[in-house]
Structure 1
Amino acid sequence: MAQNYFGELIPITLSGTRNGFSVSYNIVLKLAPINEEYRVSGAVTVMFARETYVYSTLLKAYREIQQHLPIQSQYVIPKCYYVHQEYLKEAIALQDMTVEGYRPYVHDMFLDLDHTLISLKSLAKLHSLSFILQNKKPQQFEDIMTICVPLTENTNSRYMDIMKDRLDKALKKFPASEITPGNKPVSACMIDYQTTRKCSPAFDVMYLILSSTNSELRNKYLQQLMEIYYRTFEIAIKEAGISSQTLYSRQMFDSDMKVVAPACLITANTALWLSNGLQEEGHVRSKHVWSTKEEKDKAVEKYKTIITTMIDDLTNFGYISIDEL
C-alpha cells in the first residue's frame, strides 16, 4: 500500500532449509527504475546510491552505537540483507517490517495525534544517533558526510529545480489576494533515506509536523509536539553521556525551526502537488492523474485549502512572515 515514486517495492518470502531446519525470510525488495529514459537526469541514480549507502554503512554504525543505549532510546532499524549497486540493476533487500506488526498509516491524509507523537519520538532517536556518532566517532562522521552532503545548488541542483518548478506551478493556482483514529501506535519504523543529508534536525521535525498533520491538530498541539520531540532527543543524548545543552540546546532547536520553515513549506508543497494528482508530466508524476476537469478542479481546491492553512499556521506561529513569501 506504500507509494513509491522512484522504483518498485516487492514483498517476497524466501523459504528453504539450514542445517536440516526450515527457515524463511520475509523481505521487501526495493528496485530502481530500469527504463533508461527515466534515469536521464541522474537524480534517481544518486538517490539509490545514497540509500544503499545509508542502509549498508550509516545504519550499521547506528546499530553499533545502540548496543550501549537502553531499549527505550533505540531507533527501529530494519535489517538490510543485500544491496546491489550496478546501474539499472540497483536493488535493496530489506526486512519486511509488516511481519513485525508495523503498518503504513492509511486511515486519513494526515496523521492523528498519537501517530504524530510516536513518529516525532522515533525521529528524535534517529537524530540523537547522528549527534552521538559525531561526538564519539568524528572521523567516521566526516566520512559519512562526504556522501550525505548538505543540499545546495552545487550538490543537487536538479532537486532544487524540481522544488522551484512545483512552487511556480503552485503560485499560479493562487491569485495574490488569496494567500492569507485507529489503535494507538507504540512504535514507528521509518524508511526511505534517498534524500538523506547533513542538515539541522529541525528540518525533519518541521516538515513532519507541517506535511503530516492538519491545521486543527497543529494549532492545538504544536507546543506538545515540539516538547515530546526534544525531550526524547535530550534523554537519548544524555544516556550516551553527552550534554544536550552544549551539543544542541532547546534554544538552538527553536531558532532552527524558524530558519527551516520556508524550505519545509516549499518541500511540503511539492509532496502535496504530487499526492493531489496535479503533476501530469515529467519523470516524477502523480500516481493518480484526474481524467475530468471537474475532478481536477476539485483536487486543486483541496490542494489550495491545505497550502493556505499551512501558510496561515506558519505565519500565526511566527515562523514566517507573509512579506517574505
Structure 2
Amino acid sequence: MSQVPVATTTEMTESLSDSYSLITKELISKCLVSHKGETVEIISWDVRNFVRPGDNYACTVTSIFVKFRDTKSGRDDEVSYVLKINPRRASKGFNDIIEDQLEKEGRFYLEISPGLNKTMHDIGLPDVQVPKTHFVHLEVGKEVLFMEDLRQRDFLMSDRKKGLDKPHCLLVVKELARLHAASFLLKKKSEGDLLTLYPFMVDGIFGVITKTYKPFTGSLEGMVAGAAQVARNVGGYDGVVRYIETKLQPQYMDIVIQKMELKPPFVVYNAGDCWTNNILFRYGDDGSPVEALLLDLQLARICSPAADLNFFFYSSLDGDMRQENLGEFLSTYYSTFQKVLQAASQDMPFSFDEFEKEYHDFKVFGFFVGFFLLPAALGEGHVQYFLLEEDTKAAWERVTKNNAEGIVRLSRENPTAAARLISIFDEMTASGFTIQ
C-alpha cells in the first residue's frame, strides 16, 4: 500500500491574509502527482465552498476542482478534493489547539490508517471507513489536508438537527466496532502497545486544552452551568442540579481526563469526535442507509471504546432512541468487534458483561458531551466555542456567561433541545449521579 507523501518544505508567499491563501498551486500539484502520477500537470483549478453554516466549527473546510492533463497520453481530465485547512484566527491559544489537531489527523492518515487497512485486508475484510487522503502538508501554521471528495461516492451528511434513527445508529456502531477491533489487531500484530507505536495519539482535545489553552475551559464550563439552570427551571431535579454544580461543573475536566486514562483491556483507537456532523452515509435505491463513514479524526486518541460510544450516543441521538435501543446497540457493537477478531483467529479481550460495565462507567462523560455538543447539534449561534479575537480574561468571562445563558435560551426555543436535556437529567437520576 502506497504511503501518502508529506510536504516538508514550501515556497509559499510570506504574506498570508487568510486560510484560503494556503491553497497554492505548488501544494495542489504535489497532491495531483501523488494521486494521479508523475505525468500529470495542472491546467486550472478553482475553489468551491460547499459547507453550510453549522457544519464545521474549528477548521476551514472547502473543496477544489482541478483540471489537469496527462502529458503521456495527452488526455485532459478533472478531479475534485475536499480540503481541511488551518483557519488562521487571531487567538493564539485557539491556533495552538488547531495545529495540534491537524497534525494528529494528518498523521493518523499517514501512519495509522494504512496499517489498520492492511490489518483488515490480511483477514479478508474491507477497509475501515475513513476518507482516503491524497496529500498532507503539516508545516506549522500552514496545515492543509487534501482528502477525497466523498460526494463523488454518493456519501451525504445527515441533518444534524434530527436525532439519528435506528438504522443509521446501527451502521455507526458497527463502524466504530470495526475501527476499534482493527486497532486491537494492529497492536497484537506489532507486538507492542499502541502508545509506543503512536505516542502522538495519547492526548485528545481535553488533554491539549489543559496543557496549552486553559481559558477555553470557560466556554465548556458555561454550557455545563447552563444545563444546571435548565434542570432548575424544569423542576424536580434538585439532586441533579447539586451534582452538576458541585461536581461536574467545577471538576469536569479532571473527570474527563481521568476517564481517558488507559485501562487494559479497554485500549483502542477512538475516532474521538463521533457525532452527526462527522459521519457520512451512503444510501441504497430505496433510500435506506447502507454504509457509514467516519470523518474529522482530529480528536482521535487512544482510550476506551466506551468513550466513542458515549460520545456518539449522547451527541447524536434523541433520548428515547438511546434509552430504548441501548441494549441492542451494545450487543451489535460487541458482536461486530467479535467477528473481526474471529476472522483473525483471536479471542475477545473482554466479555460482554465487562464491556457493558465499562460503557456505564463512562456515562458521566456522555452526560458532559450531551451538554456541550447540544448547541452545536441543535442551535444557531446560541453559544461560542472559540474566541475569534485575542485572548483576554474579560473575553473568556463574557463567553462563559453568554454560553450559560445560551443553553437556557436554546432549551426554551427548541423543544428537541429541552427533551434531550431532560432525558439526560432522567438518566443521571436513574444512574445515581445526584447529590441529595
Q: Which TM-score tier does this pair reach, normalised by the shorter chain? A: 0.7 to 0.9
- Counterpart of 1:70 in structure 2: which amino acid? G
Question: Is the CA contact (8 Å cut-off) linking 1:82 and 1:92 kept in structure 2?
Answer: yes
State the identity as a percent: 19
Match of 1:321 in 2: 432
SS at the partner of 1:322? coil
Q: How many residues align?
A: 313
| One of 278, 289, 307 as aligned partner of 2:382 | 278
Match of 2:246 in 1: none
Tell me the distance in 1 between the aligned counterparts of 2:325 and 2:375. Answer: 26
Distance apart, 1:39 and its partner CA: 4.7
Tell me the distance in 2 between the aligned counterparts of 1:132 and 1:324. Answer: 42
Match of 2:228 in 1: 171
Tell me the distance in 2 between the aligned counterparts of 1:69 and 1:31. Answer: 35
Q: Residues 167, 257 of structure 1: CA spacing in aligned structure 2 closer, same or farther, 3 A cutoff?
A: same
Match of 1:310 in 2: 424
Distance apart, 1:145 and its partner CA: 4.0
Q: Residues 9, 263 of structure 1: CA spacing in aligned structure 2 closer, same or farther, 3 A cutoff?
A: same
Q: Residues 202, 40 of structure 1: CA spacing in aligned structure 2 closer, same or farther, 3 A cutoff?
A: closer
Q: Which structure 1 residue ranges, 5 or more long, are not aligned?
A: none
Tell me the distance in 2 between the aligned counterparts of 1:112 and 1:300. Answer: 19
- Counterpart of 1:308 in structure 2: which amino acid? I
Q: Residues 88, 41 of structure 1: CA spacing in aligned structure 2 closer, same or farther, 3 A cutoff?
A: closer
SS at the partner of 1:124? helix
Question: Is the CA contact (8 Å cut-off) linking 2:314 and 2:369 kept in structure 1?
Answer: no
Q: Residues 185, 45 of structure 1: CA spacing in aligned structure 2 closer, same or farther, 3 A cutoff?
A: same
Question: Is the CA contact (8 Å cut-off) linking 1:8 and 1:33 kept in structure 2?
Answer: yes
Distance apart, 1:282 and its partner CA: 4.1
Matched, 1:105 2:158: yes
Question: Is the CA contact (8 Å cut-off) linking 1:145 and 1:197 kept in structure 2?
Answer: no
| One of 41, 45, 57 as aligned partner of 1:5 | 57
Question: Is the CA contact (8 Å cut-off) linking 2:201 and 2:301 kept in structure 1?
Answer: yes
Q: How does 1:292-311 map to 2 (within 5 A)?
A: 298-299=412-413, 302-311=416-425
Tell me the distance in 1 between the aligned counterparts of 2:411 and 2:331. Answer: 39
Distance apart, 1:198 and its partner CA: 1.4
Matched, 1:95 2:148: yes
Q: Residues 151, 165 of structure 1: CA spacing in aligned structure 2 closer, same or farther, 3 A cutoff?
A: farther
Tell me the distance in 2 between the aligned counterparts of 1:106 and 1:152. Answer: 25
Q: Which structure's residues are more often strand, by fraction?
A: 2
SS at the partner of 2:156? coil
Question: Is the CA contact (8 Å cut-off) linking 2:231 and 2:422 kept in structure 1?
Answer: no
Match of 1:260 in 2: 362
Distance apart, 1:87 and its partner CA: 2.6
| One of 286, 293, 297 as aligned partner of 1:193 | 297
- Counterpart of 1:269 in structure 2: which amino acid? F
- Counterpart of 2:224 in structure 1: which amino acid? L
Distance apart, 1:110 and its partner CA: 0.8
Structure 1, residues 66-108: CA drift from partner, whole Å, max 9, x if none? 221333x542232111111123311100011121121101285
Which stretch shifts more, 257-266 or 178-187? 178-187
Tell me the distance in 2 between the aligned counterparts of 1:66 and 1:305. Answer: 40
Distance apart, 1:310 and its partner CA: 2.2
- Counterpart of 1:81 in structure 2: which amino acid? H
- Counterpart of 1:323 in structure 2: which amino acid? T
Question: Is the CA contact (8 Å cut-off) linking 1:206 and 1:261 kept in structure 2?
Answer: yes
Match of 2:343 in 1: 239
Q: How does 1:1-325 map to 2 (within 5 A)?
A: 1=51, 3-18=55-70, 19-20=72-73, 21-37=75-91, 39-40=93-94, 42-71=96-125, 74-106=127-159, 108-139=161-192, 141-150=194-203, 156-157=209-210, 158=213, 161=217, 162-175=219-232, 177-179=235-237, 183-244=287-348, 247-275=349-377, 276=379, 277-280=381-384, 282-283=386-387, 298-299=412-413, 302-313=416-427, 315-316=429-430, 320-323=431-434
Distance apart, 1:315 and its partner CA: 4.5
Question: Is the CA contact (8 Å cut-off) linking 2:412 and 2:418 kept in structure 1?
Answer: no
Structure 1, residues 138-163: CA drift from partner, whole Å, max 9, x if none? 34733444111155976541478254
> Could you tell me the TM-score, scaled by structure 2's length?
0.64
Distance apart, 1:31 and its partner CA: 0.7
Structure 1, residues 23-71: CA drift from partner, whole Å, max 9, x if none? 4332101111122436556222211121111121111221221221333
Q: Which structure 2 residue ranges, 5 or more long, are not aligned?
A: 1-50, 241-282, 389-398
Structure 1, residues 265-306: CA drift from partner, whole Å, max 9, x if none? 102211113342321474279xxx9xx9x9757337653331
> Could you tell me the TM-score, scaled by structure 1's length?
0.84
Tell me the distance in 2 between the aligned counterparts of 1:210 and 1:153. Answer: 17
Q: Residues 109, 324 of structure 1: CA spacing in aligned structure 2 closer, same or farther, 3 A cutoff?
A: farther
Q: Residues 282, 102 of structure 1: CA spacing in aligned structure 2 closer, same or farther, 3 A cutoff?
A: closer
SS at the partner of 2:303? coil
Distance apart, 1:134 and its partner CA: 1.4
